[in-house]
């Protein structure tokens, strides 16, 4: 099929590349001419493992092009995916202004095309939004839903760092459609993916995305709450969750206790679902608690470190890992941010190192100058928190920590094996 993708952020670009790889012809659209130029040169404007060589090949083969011109992209294609951001507003609800803009642009494209077009929202939006915003924008221009255009909602479940793989081999593809024709077009588009299709209505598809992320975040906060009990009674939450997770009804994934969850999705999507729930008159007790446990977890981490080190005033603390998780330079909602604030509030001097995310972190935390290496961070430090599960940290050995003034190490991500660290004062969250 000929597909246009509006928005070349993370979701749009990975989806565009993934669909082009599967044999579709893709036009990526973005308002930023710099991004468009970069994509047309085969260089992704974002960092994601494996994306660069694939994009280069697809651009070279003419299977993916980028443009700033939405109208001609829509006119020249059969299906348009809207993949623009829906950031949080201060009250937690989603800001749909980019979606509104994109939907109006698609309406202009439909005008120019003059025949049936399939419009799909991939952006994460609360139930009702695809119809309230995208359908309305097209109808305001005089197009009839089902007659002049098809409408779909097709949420993404891409994890940063492994997004291409998640696109190629998803557990399922969720397709919400306005009518049978819309569902049929989207099912055909995904027919050479060998995975189950969940075909449903638009609102259900919108809710599946939020409910999925909320449940995964709930698993993490649940594991973190249990981990605090385990710390008190001297057992290991990882052993507990191995036992819990071997029940096929539960599954072991996303039960790893640690410093809490961050990133661009879980915190934002929880806030949006909480707002949505209240707007329906339903008190979101579970979701509220999931957020509260997650906000306490970095503070709890600092409490454990203080318990190991004594008063933090005047001490040097090294944070290893500033990204919200490994294999990304993304620091959005990274647990290192509240951790640095809390350590400083208690009078500690904080240094930090990250193999990819240092510059981004320095932009969001005032007066923070990341250092260039693990060694520089640890030298003379009185304590250390392992905040991100980078492979580089998994390879650290006891001698690496002996440059510290006092080798006190708190493992927030289970990257080290204490059996190999007899001279280190080691503790891990949940153990
Ligand atoms: C997530 C969802 O997984 C994805 O489906 C959605 O579309 C976007 O949001 P992402 O934010 O890239 O993806 O990262 P993910 O790997 O899910 O981790 C999210 C956070 O939870 C990270 O901070 C991670 O460190 C943390 N986490 C994850 C835990 O603390 N424990 C776990 O067991 C799993």
Is 208 inside a domain boundary?
no
Do 225 and 131 belong to one domain?
no
- The candidate with the shortest Cα–Cα distance to 343, out of 376, 378, 372, 383, is 383
Do 70 and 174 belong to one domain?
yes
pLDDT digits (tens, 9 = 90+) for 244-289: 999 999 999 999 999 999 999 999 999 999 999 999 999 999 999 9
The yes-or-no verdict on residue 14 having pLDDT over 90 is yes
Do 275 and 322 belong to one domain?
yes
Is 168 inside a domain boundary?
yes
pLDDT digits (tens, 9 = 90+) for 55-103: 999 999 999 999 999 999 999 999 999 999 999 999 999 999 999 999 9
Is 188 inside a domain boundary?
yes
**What is the three-class DSSP state of 357?**
coil
Do 227 and 84 belong to one domain?
no
- How far, in Å, is the centroid of ligand 1 from the Cα of 28? 27
What CATH number is associated with residue 116? 3.40.50.720
Nearest C-alpha to atom 13 of ligand 1 is from which residue?
A: 159
Most ligand 1 atoms within 8 A of CB, residue of 251, 266, 330, 337 to mutate: 266
- How far, in Å, is the centroid of ligand 1 from the Cα of 110? 37
Most ligand 1 atoms within 8 A of CB, residue of 167, 298, 325 to mutate: 325
**What is the three-class DSSP state of 195?**
coil
- Report the pLDDT averaged over residues 323-348: 96
**Residue 107 structural domain:** 2-200
Do 400 and 344 belong to one domain?
yes
Do 165 and 286 belong to one domain?
no
Is 53 inside a domain boundary?
yes
32 contacts: CB under 8 Å, gap ≥ 6: 8, 68
| DSSP type of residue 365 | S
Is 424 inside a domain boundary?
yes
* Ligand 1 atom with the shortest distance to the CA of 161: 12
Domain count, the chain: 2
Which residue, 200, 232, 249, sits at the end of a domain? 200
The yes-or-no verdict on residue 137 having pLDDT over 90 is yes
The Cα–Cα gap between 4 and 218 comes to 35
Do 169 and 116 belong to one domain?
yes
- Give the chain's mean pLDDT: 97
- How far, in Å, is the centroid of ligand 1 from the Cα of 325? 8
Do 302 and 414 belong to one domain?
yes
Is 9 inside a domain boundary?
yes
The yes-or-no verdict on residue 369 having pLDDT over 90 is no
Do 194 and 233 belong to one domain?
no
* pTM summary value: 0.96
* Burial (0-12, 13-18, 19+ Cβ within 10 Å), 156: buried
pLDDT over 90 percentage in the chain? 97
The Cα–Cα gap between 310 and 305 comes to 8
Most ligand 1 atoms within 8 A of CB, residue of 154, 174, 227, 265 to mutate: 265
The yes-or-no verdict on residue 114 having pLDDT over 90 is no
- How far, in Å, is the centroid of ligand 1 from the Cα of 67? 32
Do 155 and 53 belong to one domain?
yes
pLDDT digits (tens, 9 = 90+) for 409-430: 999 999 999 999 999 999 999 9
3-state helix, strand, coil in the chain (%, to 5): 45, 15, 40
Do 11 and 57 belong to one domain?
yes
Question: In this predicted structure, what is the pLDDT of residue 49?
Answer: 87
- The candidate with the shortest Cα–Cα distance to 260, out of 388, 415, 353, 92, is 388
Question: In this predicted structure, what is the pLDDT of residue 343?
Answer: 98
Which residue, 145, 165, 200, sits at the end of a domain? 200
Q: Where are the beta strands (DSSP E) in 122-209?
A: 149-153, 173-177, 197-200
Catalytic site includes residue 384: no
Nearest C-alpha to atom 11 of ligand 1 is from which residue?
A: 263
The ligand 1 site (C-beta within 6 Å) comprises 156-160, 213, 216, 220, 254-256, 258, 261-263, 265-266, 324-325
Is 210 inside a domain boundary?
no
Helix pair angle (285-309, 266-279), 10° resolution: 140
Do 275 and 380 belong to one domain?
yes
- pLDDT-derived band at 150, boundaries 50, 70, 90: very high
* Ligand 1 atom with the shortest distance to the CA of 328: 12
Is 205 inside a domain boundary?
no
Which residue, 165, 200, 235, sits at the end of a domain? 200
Residue with tokens 């036009």: 27
């Amino acid at each position: 099929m000929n597909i246009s993708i509006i928005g070349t952020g993370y979701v749009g670009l990975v989806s565009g590349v993934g669909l082009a790889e599967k044999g579709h012809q893709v036009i990526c659209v973005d308002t930023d001419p710099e991004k468009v130029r970069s994509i047309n040169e085969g260089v992704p404007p974002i960092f994601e493992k494996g994306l660069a060589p694939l994009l280069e090949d697809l651009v070279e083969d003419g299977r993916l092009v980028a443009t700033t011109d939405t109208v001609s992209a829509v006119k020249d294609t059969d299906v348009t995916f809207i993949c623009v951001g829906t950031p949080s507003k201060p009250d937690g609800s989603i800001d749909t202004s980019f979606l509104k803009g994109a939907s109006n642009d698609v309406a202009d494209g439909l005008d120019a095309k003059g025949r049936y077009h399939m419009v799909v929202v991939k952006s994460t939006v609360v139930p009702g939004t695809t119809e309230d915003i995208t359908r309305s924008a097209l109808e305001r221009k005089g197009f009839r839903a089902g007659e002049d255009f098809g409408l779909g909602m097709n949420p993404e479940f891409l994890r940063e760092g492994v997004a291409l793989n998640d696109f190629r081999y998803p557990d399922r593809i969720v397709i919400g459609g306005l009518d049978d024709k819309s569902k049929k077009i989207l099912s055909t588009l995904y027919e050479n993916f060998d995975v189950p299709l969940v075909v449903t209505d638009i609102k259900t598809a919108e809710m599946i995305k939020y409910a999925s992320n909320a449940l995964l975040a709930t698993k993490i906060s649940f594991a973190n709450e249990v981990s605090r009990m385990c710390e008190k009674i001297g057992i290991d939450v990882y052993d507990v969750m191995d036992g819990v997770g071997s029940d096929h009804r539960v599954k072991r994934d996303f039960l790893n206790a640690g410093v809490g969850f961050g990133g661009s999705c879980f915190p934002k999507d929880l806030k949006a679902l909480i707002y949505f729930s209240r707007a329906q008159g339903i008190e979101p007790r579970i979701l509220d608690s999931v957020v509260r446990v997650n906000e306490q977890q970095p503070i709890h981490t600092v409490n454990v470190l203080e318990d190991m080190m004594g008063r933090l005033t005047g001490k040097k603390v090294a944070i290893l890992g500033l990204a919200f998780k490994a294999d990304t330079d993304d620091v959005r909602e990274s647990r290192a941010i509240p951790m640095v604030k809390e350590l400083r509030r208690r009078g500690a001097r904080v240094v930090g190192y990250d193999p990819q995310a240092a510059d981004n972190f320095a932009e969001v935390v005032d007066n923070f100058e990341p250092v260039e290496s693990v060694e520089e961070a640890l030298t003379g430090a009185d304590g250390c928190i392992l905040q991100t599960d980078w492979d580089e940290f998994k390879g650290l050995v006891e001698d690496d920590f002996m440059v510290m003034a006092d080798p006190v190490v708190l493992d927030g991500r289970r990257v080290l094996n204490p059996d190999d660290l007899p001279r280190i004062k080691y503790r891990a969250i949940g153990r």
